[in-house]
Structure 1
């Protein structure tokens, strides 16, 4: 049985774990404020909040329910737009949308209200930038969006009067209804033990699988692994970072030590989908999706990462991520195996990392070409280089020859130009909806140059490469 709290109601259901949370909410519970839009996680009309007890503290995140399996709600608090309502008056988020004329046809409005409520409940600093991040995945086609941004600004203005607001403060000030205060104890009392999982397709966050196979997964057995503790966590020790493959992009985003090691981490991760998807998407899922343009795959290839692979019987092995991919959508993983973790050596003080991505729109889009590079330099000599690029081959591409060519060479524009020619010999892009092969070759070159302009601005300028390329 799947047991969770939906708004203010305890749910115990034998519905199939693989059906989407959206379909359960709308068709089984008749909570139709949660809308069906794209069914791909792109429009966020279906946004709900997921509350989970972590270290005795209830934390909420927004997700898109159209690509989330019902079984992942087990033991949690799910909040739809109906669950944010107050008696006889509007909440702060609802009033802000109304006061700023931020709704027209109204179809997208519930998603925005839920996302802004989630922002109020979140641990993030209550500033305008974070409020815009919270609604980064919510699309509206009617209002021009500026009115919605004004509504977000109004919500921030109400929150700025209080640092780290408690549930009681949020209730008193009209952000959430009274019942929220009892949810932590209700979740503790919930009989939500680990369920016996059937043998079926492994599913973690589901953000890719449910775009492609939602109907199939709803009708067949799935083995949900999102709550497997041994696949979770981020640990830094003895100069190595070990990340469980159930960790999400948001787990990286919120990890203070990783942000100190990689000062531009949030800037890079902001290019990886919307906040709702970053809250759901697991690193392991990104790797085994094996997309040639998988953002996090490219990211970790450039860190020269290794992956840990395990079986349920306890057998384990390690493999360089750059050797994992064997061909288009194929990789070195046996049927009974799971990716357990990804680990890499922490960069030294002389190591510099950068991630670049070009797509048809800046955010919330699939890359035409993406690239990452980790470059170590001492005395103006490149002592170690790892460069990865996506969208230019059948697999997420670690550039073996380009990386080897750079190692041991002087950090000069002449060397970088020569290395870009090696890069061109390693890639074989095809023409598709994201661009022609010639366009992708040009992007590959330009993103390669961008790494060095970004990382070594005192050495390189755009002019060094534009005039000589």
Structure 2
């Protein structure tokens, strides 16, 4: 039995755990404000909020795309659709901002924008225009009314003038951002039977953000083995210079981790290139790695950190392997029957170590890469003491560039070295022509992103002019 709160009502259902949350709220509960658009998590028309009880005892809300979220993942949580944000006799601040700025256009996508901006209003992030736009980076307006929607987002920011950290529920309710029933949600969640749903059989699913794009019809009609709520697969820990990330952790968990942001000053800038806020709130690292996509952003990210992964089977027997040895071919990997990825771990960078992630895709937000690349490099007295380079979109799986990395180590960092290293890189990759670009185009991108690492990390030494003549 799946138990959760839908808006202000407790739901108990025996529907298939693999049914999508979108189909449940629309067709079983007739809450049609949550729209069906792409069914791939791209358009944001199906955005809802999901509230979970934190270790601190409060309820934290995040936006997700319900079209690729299994119903079973709602177990023990508070799901809010656009109907659940309504006040009794007037519009909420977010709804009014959309109306006042003529940001509704045809209206189809409006509920998704309202939900994303409401989630932003309830979050602990700084209330500025940049973060508001981040919150709606996974929403698409079919009528291209972006300017008016941006104006609405800025209007919401101006009204979020609470002078302390965080936005307490009482303040949000009093100032008409959310309805009054939110006050009692924590108590209602505590009364739910949160015992894990019986789901030992079927396809293993965590966030589902890729599986439900590929296999939605099959998954919706069957029970699935949901692991996203398994606590032993969650969390980010730092101990004795090693960072261990549970496979159920999300990009948002990484984004919000204060200590890791100190080790990686540009972390959020890099992670902003990874999908949208809704997807970053859902997708698990373990799923990204096991998906084995040749352009998996986080796989490329972790490869450049020379990461290891720990695998665990049903008997709780563990084994650890290097992530670069995990992939064996296109969509094939070293994962035995009954095994799951338990965690990813890597050595934290030293003060001399630099990291960079680059990605080229057809639009700025929420798109898969044509080519993506990452590097971790350490330089002392202008000699490279360590280098780890990875690249995606140019091989059958996420590629750790073994020969290129080895070639860089121990050599003086010069323009000539970088150009020679690119020659090695080109021999290590074998791109194919597909919808993301021709093989020649991808080789060009691989070269340009490799050069970009050095331009970005060593701006006083290298610029675009250093490499133009070698184009």
Give the TM-score taking structure 2 as reference length.
Answer: 0.99
Aligned with 1:411 (options 413, 421, 434): 413
- Give distance in 2, aligned partners of 1:316 and 1:371: 30
Post-superposition offset of 1:193: 1.5
1:195 Cα deviation after fit: 2.2
1:154 maps to 155
Cα distance in structure 2, aligned partners of 1:320 and 1:83: 46
Q: Give the superposition deviation at 1:196.
A: 2.2
Give the alignment of 1:192-341 within 5 angstroms. Answer: 192-341=194-343
**Which residue does 1:82 correspond to in 2?**
83
Q: Give the whole-Å Cα distance in 2 for the aligned partners of 1:408 and 1:104.
A: 59
1:93 maps to which residue? 94
Q: Distance in 1 between matches of 2:105 and 2:364?
A: 25
CA distance in 1, matches of 2:83, 2:163: 26
Q: CA deviation at 1:192?
A: 2.0
User: 3-state DSSP class of the match of 2:215?
Assistant: helix
Structure 1 residue 143: deviation in Å? 4.3
2-structure distance, mates of 1:166, 1:350: 41
In 1, Cα distance between equivalents of 2:20 and 2:222: 12
Q: Is the 8 A contact 2:246 2:344 kept in 1?
A: yes
Indicate whether 1:128 and 2:152 are aligned: no
CA distance in 2, matches of 1:213, 1:57: 35
Alignment correspondent of 1:438: 440
Partner of 1:69: 70
Residue in 1 that maps onto 2:424: 422
1:191-217 residue CA offsets vs partner (Å, 9 max, x unmatched): 221222231111000000000111101
1:382-437 deviations in whole A, cap 9, x for unaligned?
01110000000111110000000001110111111100000000010011111110
Aligned equivalent of 1:190: 192
User: Which of the numbers 353, 357, 372 marks the counterpart of 2:355?
Assistant: 353
Q: How many matched pairs?
A: 469
Quote the offset at 1:364 in angstroms: 1.0
1:30 aligns with 2:30: yes
Instruction: Note if contact 2:123-2:167 (Cα within 8 Å) is conserved in structure 1.
Output: no
Name the structure 2 match of 1:111: 112
Counterpart secondary structure, 1:246: coil
Task: Find the aligned partners of 1:195 and 1:288 in 2 and give their Cα distance.
Answer: 23
Alpha-carbon distance in structure 1 between the residues aligned to 2:6 and 2:362: 37
CA contact (8 A) 1:252 1:258 kept: yes
What SS is found at the alignment partner of 1:340? strand
**Which residue number corresponds to residue 448 of structure 1?**
450
What are the equivalent positions in structure 2 for 1:47-62 lying under 5 Å apart?
47-55=47-55, 56-62=57-63
| 1:376 partner SS | strand
Superposed CA deviations along residues 243-271 of structure 1, whole A, max 9, x for unmatched, are 00000000000000010100000000000
- Residue 468 of structure 1: CA displacement? 3.4
Aligned to 2:12: 12
Aligned partners of 1:103 and 1:143 also within 8 Å: no
2:380 to 372, 378, 381: 378
Q: Return 5+ residue gaps in structure 2 as ranges.
A: none
Q: Is residue 2:169 matched to residue 1:167?
A: yes
Residue 41 of structure 2 aligns with which residue? 41
> CA offset at residue 346 of structure 1?
0.6
Question: C-alpha distance in 2, partners of 1:67/1:336?
Answer: 24
Pairwise CA distance, 1:142: 1.1
| d(CA) in 1 for partners of 2:66, 2:194 | 20
**Rounded Cα–Cα distance in structure 1 between residues aligned with 2:144 and 2:293:** 34
- Show structure 1 runs of 5+ residues with no match: none
CA contact (8 A) 1:102 1:143 kept: no
Moved more, 154-163 or 380-389: 154-163
Q: Note the aligned Cα RMSD (angstroms).
A: 0.8
Cα separation, 2, equivalents of 1:462 and 1:60: 43
Q: CA deviation at 1:165?
A: 2.1
Tell me by how many angstroms 1:361 deviates: 1.1
